[in-house]
Structure 1
Amino acid sequence: MKLARTLLAVCLCLTAIAGFAQKGQNNPLFRFATKAEAQMLITDIDQYTNGWNQFDINVRMQTNEGRKSQLLTLAMSCVQNWSDADKKKVTNAFNGVIASIKKQKLTLHYPDEIVLIKTSMQEEGGADAYTRKNWIAINENVLNNAQETQLKSLVAHELFHILTRYDLNFKKAVYQTIGFTVLDREIIFPTDLMEKRISNPDISRYDSYAPFTVNGTTQNYTMVTYTDRPYEGGNLFDYMKTGLIPLNEHFVPVQESGKTIIVPVEQAKDFYEKIGKNTEYVVNPEEILADNFASLIMEKKGLPNPEVIDRIREVLKK
């Protein structure tokens, strides 16, 4: 009996420190990875790391002759240990998100657990955070400098990526709120586009499209973030461009003279009519919706297009 009470006390203590939340429909179970575990996760050869092209590697390594093995080694070296103060901040942010979900009576479906990683973020160009599979990596600078509300909003944004990755039905429904259809398969990009596409760890599949009107003609397009030049120095975000790729009736990217057509989003006159103007982060429907989801969780007021938030809310109440 004494041993049992001791073990129970230890478990309760670890739960409080590690940031576990009780698992349930609206309670994600989250925990903080040890440095060793985080190094294994961040160097996993998965769909994201397999999709890196030479530019992806060069821009993250900030060299013209990078190798995948070097980038994986860099990522491993960027992982850091969690301090108790960091854990408390992130736990408070998660609990704030969970409280908002309960208050608004939203229904979400989570993976069995969400794993949290702390990193210097050099491996992703200094981004605030990103996700892969069921884990979220957070920048040490964000942990040191972000206000409580900022961290809560960031957690909500990254949680959205976990949700769409975990629940395809949710992804299909929520993408429809801004006019995008999600296919049951990934759209296959031609080689020339794969060489210039900038990989985003938050996008697990390129599988969505929407009709846009360009030069008076309405056609289905998929969104892509790409570079129009090789790496010449500088940061990842210096190279990011957003374009629309026209698709044929089989959802295959359209080419002209052997090159995939990329249309600047500015040429689609109805682009912002569909996605709204609640966020400037319009690189992909996944990121557009993640920002809108965060605004919903934060109960943000005075947005240019509150109807987008209302539509997302309706999806989460079904």
Structure 2
Amino acid sequence: MKKRIVSITLAVVMTSFLLTGCNKENIANEDNNNTETDSGDGLSTLDSSDTTESEPDADVADSSDTDIETEITTDTDSQTFNYHFADQDEAISCFLSNEDYFNGFSTCDLQYKTGKKDGTIEDYKEFGVSQMLEFTDSEKESIDKLMAEIEEDIASNGYYIPEVDEITFIKSTQDEENGSGAYTHGTQIYFGQSFVDLFTSDDPDYYKYGKSILWHEIFHCLTRNNPDFRAYMYSIINFTVQDNEYDIPPSVFDKYISNPDVEHHNAYATFHINGEDIDCYTVLIATKPFEKEGDSFFDCMETALVPVDGSDIYYVPDDADNFWDVFGMNTGYVIDPEECMADNFSYALTYGLEEDYESPEIIEAIIDYLSMQK
């Protein structure tokens, strides 16, 4: 789940953040401003119809319609990814297929995502259906070009990419996720106009950033299709994946915001909190209750560290002395190990080792894995 933004917060990472790195002081300063909504933070959004951006912003459907089927190369045996573009009818069908996601909503979720205090799952479905769009032919061609470049990058570097089911690209307004720029369900990848515009941009920096966004979303598809890959990627940033899901305690679930990119809460890391080592998993929460139409959870979201022992309590990043030691310093998108590693993976595949990372060992570990698995 990526937010269309003007600059970085805890939730979303700008390209400038990637290229220059970050430090704990900068992150702390940005996080302290996370309630601002109209200028230098990541909570200001671009209208989805606006194709001009001042900075680069940081499932599976079976179709018999061969007109929308797109091959990356003519050699299907050698290509890594099979994909197609959904028309509006298929987009609606895909969206409605995600019952497990809908059934996991908290009341807080429904309120923010429907814009109503008494919003229901049916309200959300009805609203979501109305947000599904179609790609233009030129937009499809631009994504085809990016996917072909991705295939070339994989081949030229000799990388091993785990197998993944066919990807379905879907276009939507993104209002169904409070204005997120992109998100996934299974192997469905949903893009809003602001990110599609990156794919079609003539500016090489914007275009390359668009490629990193595409890799970020593909990572979510890869982890869903490959549990061992997911476990290894998470281990790079000190998280251990367990077989069983953790039960979110009541006081946390009251504030819980579901993230379509995060299907599981079954990975923990050890955080140093109040002089103790406490094993915690991460949950996305809203720090204030929904009040009125127009409220966005992006304006008040926070990473909660929830103890695995079942205690009905949570901590925030500032409570953990080693928070940034756990997640590393390459990205501020640290609401979950899934999102943190999706960013790092996208950096490794898009920029390689050429950039000045604050935590280069994470990028090195990803590239080593991709280079040694064949």
Which category describes the TM-score, using the shorter chain as reference length?
0.7 to 0.9
Q: Deviations over 1:262-293 (max 9, x none)?
A: 11111211111122111111111000000000
Is contact 2:165-2:225 (8 Å) kept?
A: no
Deviation for aligned residue 1:239: 2.2
One-letter identity of the residue aligned with 1:217: E
Alignment counterpart, residue 156 of structure 1, candidates 215, 219, 243: 215
Select which of 186, 189, 197 maps to 1:144. Answer: 197
How many percent of aligned residue pairs carry the same amino acid?
A: 28
User: Which of structure 1's runs of 4+ aligned residues deviate more than 6 A?
Assistant: none
Aligned counterpart, 1:54: 107
Q: Which amino acid aligns with 1:241?
A: E
Q: Does 1:73 align with 2:121?
A: no
Please give the alpha-carbon distance, in whole angstroms, between the structure 1 residues aligned to 2:291 and 2:72.
45
Distance 1:111 1:46 in 2: 21
Q: Report the equivalent of 1:311.
A: 365
**Over aligned residue pairs, what C-alpha RMSD do you find?**
1.8
Identify the residue that residue 302 of structure 1 maps to in structure 2. 356
Residues in 2 aligned to 1:302 and 1:139: alpha-carbon distance in whole angstroms: 30
Alignment of 1:163-312 (within 5 A): 163-233=222-292, 234-248=295-309, 253-254=310-311, 260-300=312-352, 301-312=355-366
Residue 20 of structure 1 corresponds to which residue in structure 2? 71
The question of whether the paired residues in 1 share the 8 Å contact of 2:252 and 2:314 is answered with: no
What is the one-letter code of the residue matched to 2:244?
R
TM-score by length of 2: 0.75
Q: Give the 3-state SS of the residue equivalent to 1:262 in structure 2.
A: coil
Gap runs ≥5 in structure 1: 1-13, 255-259
Could you tell me how far apart the structure 2 residues matched to 1:214 and 1:129 are? 33
C-alpha distance after superposition, 1:163-216 (max 9, x if no partner): 111100001111100000011121122233223211000001111001111122
- Which structure has the highest helix share of the two? 1
Aligned to 1:87: 140
- Please tell me whether Structure 1 or Structure 2 has the larger radius of gyration of its CA atoms: 1
SS in 2 for 1:298: helix
Q: Distance in 1 between matches of 2:157 and 2:335?
A: 28
TM-score by length of 1: 0.88
SS, match of residue 130 in structure 2: helix
Structure 2, unaligned stretches of length 5 or more? 1-65, 200-205
Question: Residue in 2 aligned with 1:4?
Answer: none
| Deviation of 1:145 (Å) | 5.1
